[in-house]
Structure 1
Amino acid sequence: MEPVYVFSILGGIIVLLLVAGAPMKSMRWIGQMMAKVVVGALFLFFINAFGTSIDLHIPINWTTAAISGLLGLPGVAALIVIKMVILT
């Protein structure tokens, strides 16, 4: 697609959202999910900081942060099991 069409479509979507308004419940839900992903990334950071003594390092990316943030401790336990049993 040509850039003119892409910018026209994006501009139309922005105008439509400004006129119609984005539903606030969905925006709140997206905000809560993003906050959980950030908390999951921080949790993985601390696991990596304290796990160096037992040679435990879980990479921090969107997938692992989402798993640890949305699933909580069972998600982190699953990541550790996957790292220790399957990948090594």
Structure 2
Amino acid sequence: MEWWVIVGIIVLIAILLTVGIPFNLVKGSGQVVMKLTIGVLFLFFFNLFGASFGLHIPINAFTALMVGLLGLPGIACLTAAHVFIL
């Protein structure tokens, strides 16, 4: 590695040790990861049961985040888009 990358990492570690990690950043990123995981699980079970009706919603970051944030209305919106548009 270049010397300036190593110096930058050392400076960043020193700043984080001195100031500390902002709690809101950790809390916010944890909530996003939790909602993304819930969205993936909802989509997995929807695809599992929707296969008998010919419905399939691909599991990717956009659809998982949409379902994680919106919940069941998010699944309904994605299903409507799949049925009527695609």
Deviations 1:28-74 (A, max 9, x none): 12101210110110000000000001111111111111000011111
Counterpart for residue 22 of structure 1: 21
Counterpart for residue 55 of structure 1: 54
Which consecutive segments of 4 or more residues in structure 1 shift more than 4 A? none
- Separation in structure 1 between the aligned mates of residue 55 and residue 11 of structure 2, nearest angstrom: 48
Distance 1:20 1:75, change over 3 A: same
- Separation in structure 1 between the aligned mates of residue 71 and residue 78 of structure 2, nearest angstrom: 11
TM-aligned CA deviation for residue 9 of structure 1: 3.0
TM-score of the superposed pair, with normalisation by structure 1 = 0.83
Moved more, 28-37 or 43-52: 28-37
- Separation in structure 2 between the aligned mates of residue 14 and residue 59 of structure 1, nearest angstrom: 39
TM-aligned CA deviation for residue 7 of structure 1: 4.5
**Number of matched residues?**
85
Distance 1:81 1:9, change over 3 A: farther
SS at match of 1:35: helix
| Identity in percent | 45
Task: Please tell me the residue identity of whatever aligns with 2:23.
Answer: M
TM-aligned CA deviation for residue 14 of structure 1: 3.2
TM-score of the superposed pair, with normalisation by structure 2 = 0.84
